[in-house]
Chain A
């Protein structure tokens, strides 16, 4: 499903339908995260990816005008680059552990400690929350700093432009 939507986005020429398909794609990936037991990630993706990001794209489209033509240049070089990169990545997957393997390296280092101890140490049943807000709270603080910086950047980009227009008039 995800792959079909992504290919439809490649083929679609109307930018409005591309944005709508982008929202559908985010929602599909959110359901995929539920299947993979990542419920926290799923509702963040549904709210942020399918909700806020689609709204942002639509407002940017409203500001730029939707009659933009989707012209394309030479296809051969991009297809070649994509195929070579994809082949290299597929070759490298042969060393990766199998899907769902409980003995994969990712499950054997620090993860068991969080699963066994976080209930007693933090007292929150949701392990993702206790790692995010307690063990790794400084990372989350850093994330807030990133979002704050992005907010300032957006305000500067859009706000400075408004100031220069006022100067002209």
Chain B
């Protein structure tokens, strides 16, 4: 059992970070903080992919004489794309938050719900 945990601690770290992000997204009412939680969630997925690409004793995947063992380059390519897409989605989310604040003078979910009830 202990050996199992020691072999797979990278997944445990990812799950811990992912659950921290999920908790922030569900529990906190401030929309900016929700987006930060979403970022933490995304980073945990990046770490999951990159840690799966790691090979014991390997180096960075750059061809150079004297090195034969490389980490898997494919997760790196995937995650490079994912990082750029994540910043794009974050930018759209932030633009939405700024717009919500201009319209309602609040970015707190509970206050927004109250405003919505009053308008009805």
Contact = CB atoms under 8 A, between A and B. Distances in A.
Given A45-B46, A49-B87, A75-B27, 5 more contacts: A9-B37, A70-B33, A93-B12, A143-B84, A158-B95
Contacts of A26: 39, 43
Contact of B99 (A38, A143, A157): A157
Give 5 closest A-B pairs by Cβ, nearest first.
A150-B88, A98-B7, A100-B56, A6-B20, A37-B71
Contacts of A161: 99, 102
A128 B37 CA distance: 29
A9 B98 contact: no
Given A6-B40, A68-B30, A132-B77, A57 B94 contact: yes
Q: Tell me the interface secondary structure of chain B in the complex.
A: helix
Interface residues of A, number: 89
Nearest to A139: B81
14 contacts: A2-B13, A33-B47, A39-B62, A41-B83, A56-B94, A57-B36, A71-B108, A78-B27, A90-B12, A107-B55, A115-B73, A119-B63, A132-B77, A150-B89
Contacts of B40: 6, 9, 22, 25
B39 A99 contact: no
Nearest to A144: B84
Contacts of B13: 2-3
Interface string A88-100: 0110011011111
B30 A86 contact: no
Interface of A: 2-3, 6-7, 9-10, 15, 18-19, 22, 25-26, 29, 32-33, 36-41, 44-45, 48-49, 52-53, 56-57, 59-61, 63-65, 68-73, 75, 78-79, 81-83, 85-86, 89-90, 93-94, 96-102, 104, 106-107, 110-111, 114-115, 118-119, 125-128, 131-132, 136, 139-140, 143, 146-147, 149-151, 153-154, 157-158, 161
B97 A60 contact: yes
Interface in B67-117: 69-77, 79-81, 83-85, 87-92, 94-99, 101-102, 106-108, 110
Contacts of A153: 92, 95
B51 A36 contact: yes
A78 B23 contact: yes
Contacts of B94: 56-57, 59-60
Contacts of A71: 29, 108, 110
